[in-house]
Amino acid sequence: MSSPATNACMIGDRYLASAAAVASCPAGPVDALDTRSGRAAQVRVLFTGTGWDEEALAAAVSRWCSLGVSEACGVLDFGAHGDRWFLVVPPSLGMPLERWRMVRRPSALDAARLTLAFGRVLERVVRAGFPADGLAMLDLAVGPGPTPFLERPLLGAPGAGPGDDPQAGQRSLAAIVTAAQFGEVEGGLARWRDDARSESFASLAACLDALEATAADIGAAAPSGLDAELAGLFDEDDLRLQSLLPPAGERRGLRRAGAAVGVVLALLGAWAVIGIGTKSSPAAAPAAPPAAEPVPVDPGTLVNAAHPPPRHHKPAKPRSHPRRPAGVRHHRPDPATHAAAPTAQPPPTIGGGTSTNGPPPTAPPASPRPPEGGGTTLPDPGGVTTLPPPAP
């Protein structure tokens, strides 16, 4: 369903996409947002052809996800949208092949290597029973490296079983090498493209082996006096550039000599800086302490310092008390009216003996011998000492 006011289309009640993008690209891919994920993750939605049912589509998606190829995109979800089925895949993994060709401006060798990398991925796809001849250039992406990526699952037609054609995929490789090279395909690479387009090779593996041999021949025929990064960056003739640069064998020695000269110059510069700094700012010698001069001392001062005079304390001032007013007499208490204080009683003695202040016995009294039967010894009732009654 879509809303004319917002130009938004909800696919499968979950994926929010642009209604104009869905109308302009019926087969996809269409950029959408997963509204049920935590942060509205960005995905791509693809639409399949007619004739699919849920069971057949689920089986095809399961076989595709079991490839285990990192260069082939996986399927996150699938469902029905109107009378069509849709597939949800991750965002693009690289840039389109057409854009990569305009940015990189690849040579014949780069185009051959990239086509060989795509061929290794298609070989595993064909081996799993998926068709590879219906591949479109919009289904391909190139990452850094360059690394090939398949942007669309190659499920084929509904109800089609594993293919038995060993030559499948050759026409797709011929289209890739034509779209990958910047300029016209010439020489041995053009001959290989024509053979692959007509499916002249016995199998896809034989086609890839021939492409690998062609890339090796192109690399061997490349100018040896120039680096691969410098080839094609200038408009001048390669022979003119080769005359300006030393031979390849001497350039390594020149690099090493230049590096050695740079190291020597750096060491000399550091030594010069250290030497100039040492001469311009010599370390100042520590100043000698001044000589001690004798100071005349009075002999009386020394005597007084050895025996200091006693300190004189100021006499304490007499404490002044207020004078008693006249006519007031001080009455002393009558000793007869006050009871005499009780005299301190000596501490009672235990056992009727007198208390002495002598030292305590050095050894405790011997305990009675325990009975032979092993029981507990009880004290003698007649030998218990009782305290005297309190004094009245």
Q: What is the pLDDT of residues 122-154, one digit of tens each?
A: 999 888 888 887 788 888 999 888 899 998 898
> What confidence tier does 295 reach under pLDDT thresholds 50, 70, 90?
low
Kindly state the percentage of the chain with pLDDT values over 90: 19
Residue with tokens 């029981």: 375
Q: Report which listed range, 23-27, 83-87, 231-235, 276-280, is most confident.
A: 83-87
Residue 83: its pLDDT value, please? Answer: 83
96-116 pLDDT per residue, tens: 998 999 998 998 999 999 999
Residue 26: its pLDDT value, please? Answer: 83
Residue 335: its pLDDT value, please? Answer: 53
Average pLDDT for the chain: 74
In contact, 118 and 176? CB cutoff 8 Å:
yes
> What confidence tier does 234 reach under pLDDT thresholds 50, 70, 90?
very low
Residue 381: its pLDDT value, please? Answer: 59
Question: How far apart (Å, rounded) are the C-alpha atoms in residues 174 and 200?
Answer: 12
Dihedral sign for Cα atoms in the order 131, 136, 138, 141: positive
171-220 pLDDT per residue, tens: 999 999 999 988 888 889 999 999 999 988 998 999 999 999 999 998 88
Residue 269: its pLDDT value, please? Answer: 86
Geometric angle at alpha carbon 215, from 209 and 217, rounded to 5°: 105
In contact, 165 and 129? CB cutoff 8 Å:
no
Residue 263: its pLDDT value, please? Answer: 86
What domains lie within the chain, and their CATH numbers?
12-91 (3.30.200.20), 92-250 (1.10.510.10)
> What confidence tier does 167 reach under pLDDT thresholds 50, 70, 90?
confident
> What confidence tier does 230 reach under pLDDT thresholds 50, 70, 90?
very low
Phi, psi of 193 (to 5 degrees): -60, -40
Residue 93: its pLDDT value, please? Answer: 78
Task: Give the C-alpha distances (Å, rounded to integers) separating 338 from 331, 335, 341, 392.
Answer: 15, 6, 9, 20
Residue 261: its pLDDT value, please? Answer: 85
Residue 354: its pLDDT value, please? Answer: 46
Residue 176: its pLDDT value, please? Answer: 92
